[in-house]
Amino acid sequence: MAERTRRGRVSAFPVLACLWIGTVVWQAVELALRHTDDSADLGPAFLPLALGVVVLVLLVADLVRQVRTERAEPAEPSDALGTGRRLRRWFEPPPRRFVALAVVAAAFGPWIGLAAAMVVLILGCLRYVEQRTWNRAVLTTVVLVAALYVVFVVLLQVRIELLPAY
């Protein structure tokens, strides 16, 4: 795809970090106002507040620097798409598919159990992220899950609940 340069685009990390640190500073101020203990203790809000302000300043400075710098970026198709096709296109890059699979496996873990969550993750990753054949994906999943079971549960005797907690 053709690339173009554009100002004003920023990377995701400083934006997300700024948002979270913003909530930290706000909660730390609330904590500091609530902290009525007059002992020598600095209180639970001191360090997060002090460091939070520093981080906020550094992140904002980075964002400003990024906004001012021209960045090359791939041109995106401008054709109008329906929600379904747009969603499918959004999920086309393999990293997004992998993250979605990992989130699903972790989020549904309490209801489906670790064993099933591992099957979802491994099978899904092999089939939909790495585009392996079904036969190969199933075989690899079985071997890998069995190997993990032998190492962690049989050999190391780690107490792991394999079945759903609910």
Partner 1 sequence: METLTLLSGGLTAILSDPATLAWCALGVTIGTVVGALPGIGTVTTMAVLLPLTFGLSPVSALVLLVAIYLGGMFGGRISSILLNIPGDASSVVSTFDGYPLARQGRVGYALTLSAVASFVGGLIGFAGLALLAAVLAKAAILFGPAEYFLLVCLVLLLTSGISNATRSKAIAAVSLGVIISTVGLDRITGDERFTWGIVDLWDGADLVVVAIGIFGLSEVIVRVRDGGRIDSSGKLPLRSLFPPVPTVTRYAPSMARGGLIGFLIGIFPGAGASMATFIAYAAEKTLGKDRETFGKGNPRGLAAPEAADNASVGGALIPTLSLGIPGSASGAMILGGLVMVGLQPGPELFTKSADIVWAVIAAVLVANVLLLVLNTVLVPFFATALRVISPYLTVFIASLCFVGVYSLRGNFFDVLLMVAFGLIGYLMRRSGYPLTSLLLGVVLGPMLEDNLRRALLVSRGDWSVFWSSPVTVILLTTIVVAVAALLAHAVWRRARSRAGRASVMG
* Chain residues that interact with partner 1, rule: CB under 8 A: 11-14, 16-17, 21, 23-24, 27-28, 31, 35, 37, 39-48, 51-52, 54-55, 58-59, 61-62, 93-95, 98-99, 102-103, 105-107, 109-110, 114, 117-118, 121-122, 125-126, 129-130, 140, 144-145, 148, 151-152, 156-161, 165
Shortest distance, CB of residue 86 to partner 1, whole angstroms?
A: 21
CB 79 to partner 1: min, Å: 25
Residue closer to partner 1 by CB (options 39, 78) is 39
Are the C-beta atoms of residues 3 and 75 closer than 8 Å to each other? Answer: yes
User: Smallest distance, Å, CB 11 to partner 1?
Assistant: 4
Token pair for 108: 């549904």
Whole-number Å distance between alpha carbons of 158 and 149? 10
Q: CB 26 → partner 1: shortest distance, Å? A: 10
Question: Min. distance of Cβ 23 from partner 1 in angstroms?
Answer: 7
By C-beta, is 36 or 78 nearer to partner 1? Answer: 36
Which residue do the tokens 């054949």 mark? 133
Exposed / middle / buried, residue 116 (Cβ in 10 Å: 0-12, 13-18, 19+): middle
Can you say whether the dihedral through the CA atoms of 147, 152, 157, 160 is positive or negative? negative
Cβ nearer to partner 1, comparing 41 with 76:
41
Q: Phi first, then psi: what are they for 161, rounded to 5°? A: -80, 115
**By C-beta, is 6 or 81 nearer to partner 1?**
6
Task: Give the separation between CA 92 and CA 33, rounded to whole angstroms.
Answer: 48
Tokens 């079985």 belong to residue: 142
Q: Give CA–CA dist 67/47, Å, rounded.
A: 30
Q: Which is nearer to partner 1, 57 or 87 (CB)?
A: 57
